Chain A
Amino acid sequence: MRTSPQFEFPPEQQVALRQARRWAWITLGYLASVIVVMYLAMGSSQAMKTAWLEDVLSLAPSIVFLIATHIAVWPPSKRFPYGFHRVVSIAFLVASLALFGMGAWLLIESITKLVQAEHPTIGGVTLFGHTFWLGWLMLPALVWSAVPSIVLGRKKLPLANTLHDKVLHTDANMNKADWMTAAAAMVGVIGVGLGYWWTDAAAAAIISLDILYDGGKNLRQVVFDLMDERPTTVDRATPDELPEKIRRRLKLLPWVKDAAVRMREEGHVYFGEAFVVPRDETNLAAKLQHASQVCRDLNWRVHELVIMPTPALEAALEGGDATNDQATNDQAENVDSSTVETSKPSAE
């Protein structure tokens, strides 16, 4: 059996990977300190508890990233001939489910507290012989949970783009948005301090909505990944142009009359098939091999491209929207239409 090629990052990505892994470890260390500090200052504030659980959950993307970048580079084996790239999606699925479930549970809990008009108790704490309000410890704990997090998010975002790593991208964005959680929790705590008992549960409900939203968004994205959605840019905003580039590169080969490409993402890299209509079939095997190499040289993310010669594109792709020459000339349109899809593109 022939396995897929060994995973290889080019030098630039190797450097980015090392940096990203280092930032992931720093994030874990920092979050561990946040979790301890927040736990000590938590009291019986629902907003603090929710913010704390969000911090615990935000360990997940970094852990997923570290595990995934470790396992994803394992060479393919006989048993797993496509390699281990997809471990990224599986780990991310688990993390998103945890986020989603926890968000839902916390939302129900906060609403219950609001409905039952449960008054949160934030009492005194005695340190070094002084007894003062625990809220005064919660506020700096929340600041510590927010400010370094923004810096970490900013550091990780460009690395995520270089590595084409969607887990890291999501993680960086969540870090960047973390101050909003802290701000909501602070409003809750200060509200309680001013004698408004409901601000605590209300802040907790807002934070759990945010957790739920993040979880739902990630869940949707990772399901799309596992459904082999067409490749997208790392922020998932637009379809990646790479399949179209490959198609045009193939058509530039003198022996190729027409070509169609479909690709899927597995973790950092793309796998795919190209269908070509040869003009000249002499020496076809060597030509195909050369064409595959040319395509892989286009971008490191083209991990493996299987090229299949066919007498006509329509015959190769029953029901698929085969491309024609006019579409090639119209760049605005062709990104979408020329990537061969055997099913309807998912609505976004």
Chain B
Amino acid sequence: MLRVVLIAGMVLIAGCDMPRDPEGTFRRVQGGTLRVGVTEHEPWTRWEGGRPSGIEVELLESFAQHLGAQIDWTHDAEGRLLETLQGGSLDVVIAGIKDSTPWSSEVALTQPYLELQGDRYVMAVQQGENRWLLELDRFLQSHRGQALERYRQEWTP
């Protein structure tokens, strides 16, 4: 019985690309629009004259390019953005969020893409969108060096 379950399970999972998003975020964003919420948090994010900039903004811009997607920026307070994210009207929130954030039980956090003096920086996505989270994780993990490099440029004269 156990063997049957195991073999059936392996056949089943080998044939699918897992994980998939319950709400289909990754598929929608690919070649579509990436909806990003931004709150200012130097040097990770800035909002000047209706335009975002900063290290996390640059990371997401190259991620969007990688996915062939346009970015739709929303500027607001962090709490409001994260609530909107929970409701599914945003795809990512960037605000120099650390993995110690009290929001960690309300939203899903990426793995830390940068670690500085015990602070570990992450981005927030909607809970349960596992494919989307994994793709963002993959991108951020492969750009760790770049993020660190940009941080040094910003903070050393």
Contacts and interface: CB of A to CB of B under 8 A. Distances in A.
A190 B13 contact: yes
B8 to A, nearest CB: 10
Contacts of A119: 22, 126-129
Given A123-B137, A131-B138, A197 B13 contact: no
A321 to B, nearest CB: 45
Nearest to B10: A139
Interface string B1-37: 0100110010011001011111010000000000000
A195 B137 contact: no
A192 interface: yes
Interface residues of B, number: 28
A123 B130 contact: yes
A170 to B, nearest CB: 21
Interface string A135-159: 1000100010011001000000000
A270 interface: no
Contacts of A124: 110-111, 133-134, 137-138, 141
Nearest to B88: A119
Nearest to A124: B137
A132 B131 CA distance: 10
Contact of A190 (B18, B108, B110, B133): B18
Contacts of A123: 108, 110-111, 130, 133-134, 137
A74 interface: no
A192 to B, nearest CB: 7
A228 interface: no
A193 B6 contact: no
Nearest to B140: A131
Interface of B: 2, 5-6, 9, 12-13, 16, 18-22, 24, 108, 110-111, 126-131, 133-134, 137-138, 141-142
Interface of A: 118-126, 131-133, 135, 139, 143, 146-147, 150, 179, 183, 186-187, 190, 192-197
A-B complex: 8 closest residue pairs judged by Cβ atoms = A119-B128, A193-B18, A124-B137, A195-B20, A121-B108, A193-B19, A124-B134, A123-B133
Given A120-B127, A121-B130, A124-B134, 19 more contacts: A119-B22, A121-B108, A121-B128, A122-B19, A123-B134, A126-B141, A131-B134, A131-B142, A132-B134, A133-B130, A135-B18, A135-B130, A146-B2, A186-B5, A190-B12, A192-B19, A192-B128, A192-B130, A195-B131
10 contacts: A121-B108, A123-B137, A124-B134, A124-B137, A126-B141, A133-B19, A133-B134, A192-B19, A193-B13, A194-B19
